[in-house]
Chain A
Amino acid sequence: SAVISQKPSRDICQRGTSLTIQCQVDSQVTMMFWYRQQPGQSLTLIATANQGSEATYESGFVIDKFPISRPNLTFSTLTVSNMSPEDSSIYLCSVEGTGPAEQFFGPGTRLTVL
């Protein structure tokens, strides 16, 4: 299994500001994923990030709001831009595993926007 770390683990931010979340993996992986987990709701895929190409965003998520970088095979960042209280959530990164439809998840970043 992959070991994934995320920074920061939590943050409280002011409306209108931006926060960049880092995701570091202990092994090289092709695909990395970013999810949002709102209270009481299921995980929602924001985008898929492959090294060397632009991220692929899911319906309802746009690059201007959630820019993603993937500079190498072990690292990715997700920026939450121009934040509003509705962006308060847990953001998780994950990587593909070797089993069928398997993913390993990071510990998440708990974001609160005031």
Chain B
Amino acid sequence: KNQVEQSPQSLIILEGKNCTLQCNYTVSPFSNLRWYKQDTGRGPVSLTIMTFSENTKSNGRYTATLDADTKQSSLHITASQLSDSASYICVVSRAFNDYKLSFGAGTTVTVRA
């Protein structure tokens, strides 16, 4: 069973609307959580990183939240643009230098005009 579960698997939204993606994890111990954006035909690119002591982190129109007690994170996209169409992957690590990361399967977001 994957230790990082994401929902929904995919979603379609209209340009200008907001959406929220969910990530639940069971990875333990926990060091940090990153959200990556993967455009079609490209590798994942980090959007945000949060440690266990952080509750929220923003990167432009992307805002990530973390509840380390319930082991849940969310990524909120505000005023979506066509360029936001991509897969968003939640990645959890156990330690600062941990290279064996735990990946979610991703949520595919499609923004339509």
Contacts and interface: CB of A to CB of B under 8 A. Distances in A.
Q: Does B bind A?
A: yes
Q: Which residue, of B51, B98, B100, has the highest number of chain A Cβ atoms within 10 A? A: B100
Contacts of A44: 103
B73 interface: no
Contact of B32 (A100, A106, A107): A100
Interface in B67-113: 89, 93, 95-101, 103-106
Query: By DSSP majority rule, is chain B's interface helix, strand, loop, or mixed?
Result: loop
Given A100-B96, A107-B42, A42 B103 contact: yes
B16 to A, nearest CB: 28
B26 interface: no
Interface string B7-31: 0010000000000000000000001
Interface of A: 4, 9, 31, 33, 40-45, 48, 92, 94, 96, 99-108, 110
